[in-house]
């Protein structure tokens, strides 16, 4: 709860960008995990979700943030695939986002799915920062594990610095060609009108403290009012995947973006046929920092409040559909909620 006693919802941060530019690697660096190693063909093929508590954000950001400046509970990161064939999943991820990270490989620059991601962010009016990733591949780079970017920059040779500068300016030029006024994040005063560029390396962790600091600052400054929602209201979310869950039957992976769902609730879920009206059998929550897509161990809980990734097990979910809405019925008329789900 913040100073006014309201409970603030966790902001949802979508990670978008061209294939192989390092979205999952960046999240692995933040989680301290190796999700990327388990990916078939080393490409992401589904939307993922990971809750990162404020504690972890402050730990990584270190001296760059004062945790008492923040009263948001943390960040919920949504990983998306960059491969061109998954444009539906990118739009879905973008639609869930409160803010976003556009990941661009500094060597590779703007690529087709970078532009596609920008179009999604413009269409959904989602504020974003650019993570200019793979700075460690600059020729002659002297890696400084997990340090803030300016400290790491100061430790580089003149030649490495000027090569990186050139690449970053090219990127800022590309952004301006797409009508975004952009600059290095430490020069941006007003993030509402300017896109901040954060040089990072998912490989060495350089710049990751800066990235998290910028995200928390943006959320706190621009999203706080939007996050002051009635988190006790009936839950609303989107189905990510429909999967068998050992011991529970068919379950749906869900990103809950509003309200609360409890283990006693009736839910309405969009399906291949008519909306499915069913009673929750179990709510399964991944531990903090776990990627819901790959996690094996879940905690059975009585209730989950937005924003969060969770599994919902219930009868009759076989025809539930990825991308479809999930609504808690609450004390509303069943017909109204069914119509709402059908219309979405």
Q: Does 22 bind ligand GTP (CB under 6 A)?
A: yes
201 binds, among Mg ion, ligand GTP, none (CB under 5 to 8 A by kind): ligand GTP
* In 200-235, beta strands by DSSP E: none
Q: Tell me the CA end-to-end span of the chain in Å, nearest whole number.
A: 32
Shortest separation between residue 204's beta carbon and ligand GTP, angstroms: 7
How is residue 220 annotated by DSSP? I
167 binds, among ligand GTP, Mg ion, none (CB under 5 to 8 A by kind): none
Q: Does 20 bind ligand GTP (CB under 6 A)?
A: yes
- The residues with which 305 forms a beta bridge, in sequence order, are 260
Residue 156: name the closest of 136, 131, 183 by CA.
136
Residues 18-57 that bind Mg ion (CB under 5 A): 23-24, 44
How many residues lie near ligand GTP (CB under 6 A)?
22
Cβ neighbours of 247 (radius 10 Å): 7
Q: Is 298 helix (H, G, I), strand (E, B) or coil?
A: coil
Q: Does 113 bind Mg ion (CB under 5 A)?
A: no
Shortest separation between residue 19's beta carbon and ligand GTP, angstroms: 4
| Sole window of 15-23, 248-256, 264-272, 289-297 interacting with ligand GTP (rule: CB under 6 A) | 15-23
Shortest separation between residue 289's beta carbon and ligand GTP, angstroms: 17
Binding-site entries? 17-24, 79-83, 133-136
CB contact at 8 A, 103 and 133: yes
42 binds, among ligand GTP, Mg ion, none (CB under 5 to 8 A by kind): ligand GTP
Q: Does 152 bind ligand GTP (CB under 6 A)?
A: no
* Residue from 98, 116, 136, 295 binding ligand GTP (CB under 6 A): 136
Q: Does 147 bind ligand GTP (CB under 6 A)?
A: no
Q: Does 202 bind ligand GTP (CB under 6 A)?
A: yes
180 vs 108: CA distance, rounded Å = 19
66 vs 1: CA distance, rounded Å = 18
Q: How many CA atoms lie within 13 Å of 317's alpha carbon, on the beta-carbon side?
A: 31
- Which residues have a Cβ under 8 Å from the Cβ of 71 and sit 6 or more positions away? 1, 2, 3, 8, 220
CB contact at 8 A, 236 and 327: yes
Shortest separation between residue 79's beta carbon and Mg ion, angstroms: 6
Interface with Mg ion by CB under 5 A: which residues?
Answer: 23-24, 44
């Amino acid at each position: 709860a913040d100073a006014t006693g309201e409970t603030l919802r966790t902001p949802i941060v979508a990670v978008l960008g061209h294939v192989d530019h390092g979205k999952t690697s960046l999240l692995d660096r933040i989680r301290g995990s190796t999700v990327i190693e388990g990916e078939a063909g080393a490409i992401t093929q589904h939307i993922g979700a990971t809750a990162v508590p404020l504690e972890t954000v402050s730990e990584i950001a270190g001296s760059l943030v004062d945790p008492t400046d923040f009263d948001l509970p943390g960040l919920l990161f949504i990983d998306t695939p960059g491969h061109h064939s998954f444009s539906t999943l990118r739009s879905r991820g973008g639609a869930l986002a409160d803010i976003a990270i556009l990941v661009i490989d500094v060597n590779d620059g703007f690529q087709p799915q970078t532009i596609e991601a920008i179009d999604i962010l413009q269409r959904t009016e989602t504020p974003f920062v650019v993570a200019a990733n793979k700075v460690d591949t600059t020729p002659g780079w002297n890696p400084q594990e997990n340090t803030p970017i300016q400290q790491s920059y100061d430790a580089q040779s003149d030649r490495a610095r000027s090569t990186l500068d050139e690449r970053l300016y090219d990127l800022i030029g590309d952004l301006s060609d797409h009508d975004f006024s952009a600059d290095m994040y430490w020069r941006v005063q007003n993030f509402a009108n300017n896109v901040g560029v954060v040089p990072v390396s998912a490989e060495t962790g350089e710049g990751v403290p800066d990235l998290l600091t910028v995200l928390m600052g943006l959320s706190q400054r621009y999203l706080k009012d939007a996050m002051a929602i009635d988190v006790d209201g009936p839950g609303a979310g989107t189905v990510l995947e429909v999967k068998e869950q050992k011991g529970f039957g068919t379950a749906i992976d869900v990103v809950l973006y509003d309200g609360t769902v409890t283990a006693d609730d009736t839910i309405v879920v969009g399906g291949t046929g008519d909306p499915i009206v069913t009673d929750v059998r179990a709510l399964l929550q991944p531990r903090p920092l776990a990627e819901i897509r790959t996690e094996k161990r879940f905690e059975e809980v009585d209730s989950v409040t937005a924003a969060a990734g969770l599994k919902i097990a219930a009868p009759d979910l076989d025809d539930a559909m990825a991308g479809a809405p999930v609504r808690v019925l609450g004390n509303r008329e069943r017909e109204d909620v069914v119509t709402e789900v059908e219309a979405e």
